[in-house]
Structure 1
C-alpha cells in the first residue's frame, strides 16, 4: 500500500475490517435467475418472442448427383451476357405483303341483317348424321321397363287393396256332406238401414200427468182467437159513459098529473 508520489489529503490506505464483495471475483447471484433466451428454462415473468426452427435437411438432397464442373462454358460468356462483336445470321427474304383489298358496296347484303336488329324465331338446320353415330348403340324404346301401375307393387301410384282368390279346400268342405250346408233360414236378413240412408223414426208414448193433479184444463173450444187484438191491429172503440149496474134502484121523481 505504498505510493511513489506524494499523498493528497488525509485519507491513507488501511486494512479492511471485514470482507468486501468488490474485492472478490465471484459472479454473484445474477446467474441464479432463469434465462431470457431460448425455449428451455425461460423466465416465465418475461415476454417470450416467437421462435422458428430451420428444420432438417431433406433426405433427397444427399441422393442428388450433380454433374459437377464438366460443362464447358464459352469464353465469350460473362456474368453480364455475351462479350464480343455482334454476330448476324443470313435469313431468306420475307415475302412482300399483299395490298389489303377493301370490300366494295356490292359485297354487303343488308337484307340479311334483320336477325341482328329485329327479333326472329329460332331457326334450325338438318345436318347429316355423323360417322360416330353408327358406333354408339343406344337402346331402343322397348329396352326400358316402366314401373307397374296395377297390383300391390306400384311405385308412382297409390295401390288399392288387392285380395286374392284361393281354391276351396277339399278337406272339411261342403261338397263332402251336403247335410252340413246351411239352408236359407240360417241367414239373417240385413236391415236395409245398414247400407242405405235411414229415415227418422218417432215413437208414440202416453201423456204423462203430474201425480195428484186434479185441476180442470180448458179445452180447445174455450179459446176465441178471433178476439185477440194483441197480435194484430184493432179499430178504436169508444163508450158513452159509465155503465151502471143492473141492480141499482131506479130514479123515482114525483111528476104532477
Structure 2
C-alpha cells in the first residue's frame, strides 16, 4: 500500500457536457399512441372509409340526412299562422283608384272663420309692355361733388400734367441754346485745397518668408513626459475564468 496516494482533483460540474432539461420528453397524455400508462385514458375511436356500394347493393339507402320541419308532429302540423310580404297587385279597374289617408293635407285647409297670416309667393318677373319701358332707379346718376365739374358747389382750381410739346408749346426753345447740364463743371480741387483721397486695392504680398506657426491643436500636453517617467498608459487585462466563484458579501439589513 502506498504511503502517499495520488491526490484527486475536484471535477467542475460546468465542464461536464450533457443534455439539458429540454432534451427529455415525457409521454403524452392526449391520444392513444404512446399514452402515459400512469394516466387514465378515455376510449378512442377511428373513422373508417365508406364501404363500396358494389358489395351491398340491396342496402344502399340514404342515411339520416332528411330534414324534418319542427312544426310537423305525428298528429299533424302544429304552428301559428304565417304570412309573406308580396308586391301589390295591379287593379283591374283604374276608375276605383282611391287615394290613401296620406294624400290629404288637412293642415293646409284654411278655416273661413279664423284669421291667418299673409302669405306670398315668389314668381317670375312679368314682361313689360312696349309702352311701359321706363328705366330703373339705378339708371340715373347724380352730378359729381368732387372736381371742377361739380355744379352748384365751390371747388378749388384743378390742374393736369400733360406731355411736353416739341412745337407750338410754351416750353419750345426757339433760340436753341444749351441748358445748364450741357456745361462741364470744373473740379473744385483745382482752385481750392485738395482733400485726402483713398482707394481700395488688393493686399500687397509680403516680401519676407512666411513663418508657419503651429496652432493650439498641434500640441499634445498629455504626451509630455519631461516631469514624469512616462505618460499614463492603460491596457486591457485578461479575461477571468467563467468558473471562478463571484465575491459575495453579506450586507447588514
Task: Give TM-score, length-normalised by structure 1.
Answer: 0.19
Structure number, greater radius of gyration: 1
Q: Compute the TM-score of the two structures, normalised by the length of structure 2.
A: 0.19
**Higher relative contact order, chain-length normalized (CA < 8 Å, sep 6+):** 2
